[in-house]
A = this chain, B = another copy of it.
Amino acid sequence: MSVSILQRQSTAMRRIHPSPSVAIVGATGAVGAELIGCLERRNFPLSRLKLLASPRSAGRTLTFQGRDVVIDGLTPMSFDGVDVALFAAGSGVSKDHARRAAADGTIVIDNSSAFRMDDDVPLVVPEVNADTLGTHHNLIANPNCTAAISVMALWPLYRENKIRRVIAATYQAASGAGAAAMEELRASTEAHLTGRAYEPRVLPHPYAFNIFSHNDTVDLESGENGEEIKAARELRKLMCAPDLRVGITCVRVPVFRAHTIAMTVEFERPLSPDQAREILGAAPGVDIVDDRNANRFPMPRDATGRDNVLVGRFRADKSDPTGHSLALMVAGDQLLKGAALNAVQIAEALMK
């Protein structure tokens, strides 16, 4: 397909073929496995599934809908005849391949941070801003997991009552650092319980029964880490809220695959916990978990393996006597709404 045809197509929303050929880039990773699972479970109407990974995984097979699919090594030719490519192999691979594949006519949904803030790339959570898919140029970014999970709670509230400020602290799972980090959590915990030494290989600090500031690079000037920078700017882009003030502390906790976020949210006008519960109770993709009697609120155990994001612990922020601020907690599966599910939902939105 020539670039001129592509450019004409991209002036309006280019929808996906009703029975597209789909490729997964990074099929052997934690997100890759969930992409396969989501396509399967949601009966995504694909005509063909191509699994791509690094050359060292080429030739291995993975199962899709009961059949073995052989993994191909990723090359620039891999996207010939592919309608939709779901990238989940990190920023480097995305930078090397995604723009070219998009220029050649494949619709790329990219899970990395490589293009998220580019002006010509929509950053999409379908429940929030599916409308921004209207002008894509074959490249669509899937948000950072913390941003994607947080925005599921923030956006429905924001629509009713503009949010001025968010102060958040996260309790982030191993999966955000990949399958190897999940294995490091398991192995180091086992070692700890049996009194054996364990030298961290994937994460910078001991993970067993420990928490630590998020492992993304720390900006030496500001002291923020990369995860905090991403979460704040992506929340602003997702909600089209350039003035939203975000102060966030991102922390890893010894949990396998669901992130929890404690938030204090300041609104333009007063908002009661009951109003917030009602608004979010009607929001798509959100389940309310808010049982004061049973002391049951959003937990990673309950969010794991679940498509919907859990929201609860609605209460007045006791540090704001004006009634403009609420505290709440959110928990979502990092590999599902925080990554694979949202990418597949973007593809589904493009088929509607």
Interface residues of A (CB under 8 A from B): 165-167, 169, 171, 185-186, 189-190, 193, 204-206, 209-213, 215, 217-220, 222-225, 228, 232, 245-249, 251, 253-256, 260, 262, 264, 273, 292-297, 299-301, 313-321, 325, 327, 329
Which among B189, B247, B318 is the interface contact of A318 at CB below 8 angstroms? B247
A–B Cβ pairs within 8 angstroms, 25 of them:
A171-B253, A186-B193, A190-B193, A204-B294, A205-B296, A210-B300, A211-B260, A212-B297, A212-B299, A217-B295, A218-B293, A219-B292, A220-B293, A223-B292, A223-B313, A223-B314, A223-B316, A225-B295, A245-B321, A246-B318, A246-B319, A247-B318, A249-B262, A251-B260, A253-B254
Inter-chain contacts of A204 with B (CB < 8 A): 294-296
Inter-chain contacts of A300 with B (CB < 8 A): 209-211
Does the CB pair A213–B247 fall under 8 Å? no
With A211-B299, A273-B223 as given contacts, are A262 and B251 in contact (CB-CB < 8 Å)? yes
With A169-B249, A300-B211 as given contacts, are A292 and B218 in contact (CB-CB < 8 Å)? yes
Does the CB pair A256–B319 fall under 8 Å? no
Inter-chain contacts of A251 with B (CB < 8 A): 171, 260, 262
Does the CB pair A206–B301 fall under 8 Å? yes
Does the CB pair B260–A209 fall under 8 Å? no
Inter-chain contacts of A166 with B (CB < 8 A): 319
Inter-chain contacts of A232 with B (CB < 8 A): 318
Q: What CA separation (Å) do A223 and B204 show in the bound complex?
A: 37
Does the CB pair A169–B213 fall under 8 Å? no
Inter-chain contacts of A253 with B (CB < 8 A): 171, 211, 253-254
Does the CB pair B247–A320 fall under 8 Å? yes
Query: Chain copies in the assembly?
Result: 2
Q: Chain B nearest CB: distance from A234 CB in Å?
A: 14
Q: Chain B nearest CB: distance from A12 CB in Å?
A: 37
Does the CB pair A213–B313 fall under 8 Å? yes
With A220-B293, A223-B313, A295-B225 as given contacts, are A319 and B209 in contact (CB-CB < 8 Å)? no
Q: Which residue of B is nearest A301, CB measured?
A: B210
Inter-chain contacts of A217 with B (CB < 8 A): 295
Q: Chain B nearest CB: distance from A97 CB in Å?
A: 29
Q: What CA separation (Å) do A210 and B222 show in the bound complex?
A: 31
Does the CB pair B224–A315 fall under 8 Å? yes
Which among B215, B294, B317 is the interface contact of A247 at CB below 8 angstroms? B317
Does the CB pair A247–B211 fall under 8 Å? no
Which among B206, B220, B296, B321 is the interface contact of A292 at CB below 8 angstroms? B220
